[in-house]
Homo-oligomer: A and B are copies of this chain.
């Protein structure tokens, strides 16, 4: 799929078919995350592919009871390593979260290219998700997304972006 079509038609999908994702498709989506850039190429990320029905259900209360996330055949959880490296001087140990966010953006876009829906879940209980998935100390959850074919089919990717105009978010030479 054309790059700009992917960017323009990515949508947050909140209703999924139970249909499984073919292994080669899932692999391409994960590989798009794998080759993302990171500070000093440290790649401080891990991706947990949650397929087990019971584990998916356990994640619901840890994600503010957004129960539709478990409709998808897969929930992908991006984890970020805490780093000693102090990126930008104010992120502290959380600079790995920026890297994981870059990689997860690749994954979200690749999913769209494959006709798969996603919804970036940023509202979750870090400690609860860590406990459910056995995420060790020194790592945090950066984001989650359900991954699956949208109930609506291709209609889920209608172009309806509601965003500020470019003039409001771009300036030249000064803030």
Question: Which chain B residues border A173 with CB–CB below 8 Å?
Answer: 48-52, 55, 133
Contact among B35, B49, B161 with A170 in the assembled complex (CB-CB below 8 Å): B49
- A49 with B101: CB separation less than 8 A: no
Contact among B95, B108, B125 with A122 in the assembled complex (CB-CB below 8 Å): B95
State whether the Cβ of A147 lies closer than 8 Å to any Cβ in chain B.
no
Interface residues on A, range: 35 or more
- A3 with B175: CB separation less than 8 A: no
State whether the Cβ of A136 lies closer than 8 Å to any Cβ in chain B.
yes
Chain B CB count within 10 A is highest, among A37, A48, A162, A164, for A37
Q: Enumerate chain A interface residues (CB-CB to B < 8 A).
A: 1-8, 10, 12, 27-28, 30-32, 34-37, 39, 41, 43, 45-52, 55, 79, 87-91, 94-95, 97-98, 101-102, 105-106, 108-110, 113, 120, 122-127, 133-136, 139-143, 161-164, 166, 169-175
Interface pairs (13), CB distance under 8 Å? A34-B164, A39-B122, A45-B169, A48-B174, A50-B173, A51-B173, A89-B125, A91-B94, A91-B97, A101-B101, A101-B105, A105-B105, A134-B174
